[in-house]
Structure 1
Amino acid sequence: MNWDRYIKDYQSYLRIERGLSKNTIENYGFDIERLCLFLEQNKIEVSPVKISDETLQQFIYSVAKEVNPRSQARIISGLKSFFNYLIFEDYRNDNPLELIESPKTGRKLPDTLSVEEIDALIAAIDLSSNEGERNRAILETLYGCGLRVSELTTLKISDLYFDEGFIKITGKGNKERFVPIGKLTKKYIEIYKDEVRPNLIIKKGFEDTLFLNRRGNQLTRAMIFTIIKDLAVRVGLHKNISPHTLRHSFATHLLENGADLRSIQLMLGHESITTTEIYVHLDRSFLKEVMHTFHPRK
């Protein structure tokens, strides 16, 4: 029933009006396409303007059998956003998901690595190859600056303000921020940039991109995941880690060493301090230490 036009208009709204990233917009689109597939499989012909809450409830029941509560909650949230958009554009008068509650998921704390575990990962890199020097610079940058993997893959040479001690990051919604860079991270980036990268035949359009593959193209997010997973296997690290684990470890270690949440929020590029609180878990020993150090009744 011509859902495509509504989906395309909605995605344009997310990009232009709300300034969301390409990845976020694609994820919203996947949720709606999943609903469309359900309608097709069950031979339900209805437009987004006419679909009822009963039909959507059936869809949610079917989703609940296939995905975990966290994914289910994300799908419900994405669809609620879509129907709110239809109300905003006067296509509908109501949101058929308004009375459908998301499952309670609790707060899932991402895995974090100790400084020793991060050192072990970096020490396991084979530095006899050009890719090894690049991979060391990549891990040092992810952990040293707390970057998202998409921010790392799009980092440009012209974004490096080493004399000032910062790098410029383009984050979600094309929002820019400046992140401090430490001496060690700077050192390994310079080794890669000055000694390895000049030996590559760089493809047109990537002349300013910092981290490249051996063919002179921008690295993919999947490649960064693979590099980190392979290193974890090499050192026998039995944790479910990803590039985001290094970002979370960056924030956690800053907090444990006395940094305030507001500073961490700015470095991570979070719009809301609430998001930072989700990333930065506090163990009880640290909370006790904070109370005994700073409370007047210690």
Structure 2
Amino acid sequence: MKDKFTSYRQYLFAGQKAPGTIAQRVGDLERFQRSTGIQIEDATQASLLEYMADHYAIWAPQYCKRIRSSFRSYFQWRAMTVPGQADVSRDLPSVKIPKKRHRRPAPDELVLDAFDKATLRERAILALAATMGLRRIEIATLQLTARSDQELTVVGKGQRERVLILDDITLHLLRSIEAETAPGVRYYFPGRWAGSHIHPQTIYVYVKRMMPHECLHTLRHRAGTTGYTRTLDIRATQEFLGHSSLATTEIYVELDRRSTAAITQATSFANARDAAISEPLDQLLSQATHLAGKLAQHGWNIDIIKSAIPVREDVAG
């Protein structure tokens, strides 16, 4: 069914925007119309600015940035396709996103407790989010053809693909779902209508029902944080989470305090003193060990015994 946004949707689709992104863009424009009573094609720069200013104190910076992006996308398209149409969004001020950590990761004990009580599909959702780090839309749209043996191809934001190696538990859960799935079904989590998938919001509802104080974001955060803490590989963590920017990964990863404690220990003045003493000592020890080996060939036996070295008062003070 055609509406005023049909051509705009086709433009976004031709630009290989994800279905979720297209729905989000159009939804933002429709929300502007409902809120202001102004048809989006009749909007002026002043009405767009007023709309954003009225909600700036309420909306999160990320949401403000998204609304601006939706306006920019739509009016750039209109300027290209409608003769004489000016881009009224061109001078909308940019929105700065403060760099801060997201929510803490979901605690393992809560995740495991929910997992033990969950159904097969609920367990799969928890594993895909908290172990594999998938977003809710990536879980909802996950097709049965995405798995090849132990590899899972995930289509993320901007239609970017990443290939993940499944752990044994998640692999078993997906295989179990496949065994129960009727012929002709395309998705691991099918929707109400034939050929459709479950809505991403329903995935959110499932998780909130199992874990009232957690959400998909904290589960995904758990995957990123645990993965980084145990590997200390930030680039691999970026690929694992499907981030285009390393800065985004740094926000998601909650560094273990032991990591910063190790940095403090490494930069301590005490270490600098130890290094000053131990460097020549290591050289002497190496020379003594070499000499002992030479003398042993002539029947001499030398024992090298380490004793405590007192710190000089002028250094310690």
TM-score (norm 1): 0.73
Q: Give aligned-pair identity as a percent.
A: 24
**More displaced, 59-68 or 254-263?**
59-68
Shift of 1:101: 4.7
Three-state SS of the structure 2 residue aligned to 1:179 is: strand
Name which one, 1 or 2, has greater alpha-carbon Rg.
Answer: 2
Measured at CA, do residues 245 and 27 of structure 1 come closer, stay the same or move farther in structure 2, by a change above 3 Å? Answer: same
Three-state SS of the structure 1 residue aligned to 2:164 is: strand
- Is 1:32 matched up with 2:29? yes
- Is 1:222 matched up with 2:207? no
Structure 2 residue corresponding to 1:146, chosen from 116, 128, 133? 133
- Is 1:176 matched up with 2:170? no
Structure 1 residue corresponding to 2:69, chosen from 77, 97, 107? 77
- Matched residues, number: 267
Corresponding position of 2:251 = 278
Shift of 1:121: 1.8
Structure 2 residue corresponding to 1:110, chosen from 96, 99, 103? 103
Counterpart residue identity of residue 79, structure 1: F
In the alignment, the residues of structure 2 paired with residue 180 and residue 254 of structure 1 have an alpha-carbon distance, to the nearest angstrom, of 13
CA displacement 1:236-255 (0-9 Å, x = unmatched): xxx3x222322221111111
In the alignment, the residues of structure 2 paired with residue 59 and residue 112 of structure 1 have an alpha-carbon distance, to the nearest angstrom, of 34
Measured at CA, do residues 261 and 34 of structure 1 come closer, stay the same or move farther in structure 2, by a change above 3 Å? Answer: same
Three-state SS of the structure 1 residue aligned to 2:223 is: helix
- Is 1:12 matched up with 2:4? no
In the alignment, the residues of structure 2 paired with residue 166 and residue 72 of structure 1 have an alpha-carbon distance, to the nearest angstrom, of 37
Check whether the contact 2:68–2:92 (CA below 8 A) recurs between aligned residues.
no
Corresponding position of 2:239 = 266
Counterpart residue identity of residue 75, structure 1: I
In the alignment, the residues of structure 2 paired with residue 193 and residue 37 of structure 1 have an alpha-carbon distance, to the nearest angstrom, of 43
Check whether the contact 2:105–2:254 (CA below 8 A) recurs between aligned residues.
no
- Is 1:157 matched up with 2:154? no
- Is 1:21 matched up with 2:18? yes
Check whether the contact 1:155–1:210 (CA below 8 A) recurs between aligned residues.
yes
In the alignment, the residues of structure 2 paired with residue 85 and residue 211 of structure 1 have an alpha-carbon distance, to the nearest angstrom, of 35
Corresponding position of 2:187 = 209
CA displacement 1:198-222 (0-9 Å, x = unmatched): 5xxx3x741x433447999743323
Structure 2 residue corresponding to 1:251, chosen from 221, 224, 229? 224
TM-score (norm 2): 0.69
In the alignment, the residues of structure 2 paired with residue 53 and residue 62 of structure 1 have an alpha-carbon distance, to the nearest angstrom, of 14
Highest relative contact order (Cα 8 Å, sep 6+), 1 or 2?
A: 1
- What residue ranges of structure 1 are gaps of 5+ in the alignment? 126-131, 234-238
Shift of 1:134: 2.6
CA-based RMSD of the aligned residues comes to 3.6
Corresponding position of 1:236 = none
CA displacement 1:36-59 (0-9 Å, x = unmatched): 335536xxx8845xx543332222
Shift of 1:122: 0.9
**More displaced, 90-99 or 19-28?**
90-99
Counterpart residue identity of residue 270, structure 1: H
Three-state SS of the structure 2 residue aligned to 1:137 is: helix
- What residue ranges of structure 2 are gaps of 5+ in the alignment? 276-317
Check whether the contact 1:251–1:279 (CA below 8 A) recurs between aligned residues.
yes
Check whether the contact 2:192–2:198 (CA below 8 A) recurs between aligned residues.
no
Counterpart residue identity of residue 135, structure 2: R
In the alignment, the residues of structure 1 paired with residue 46 and residue 229 of structure 2 have an alpha-carbon distance, to the nearest angstrom, of 49
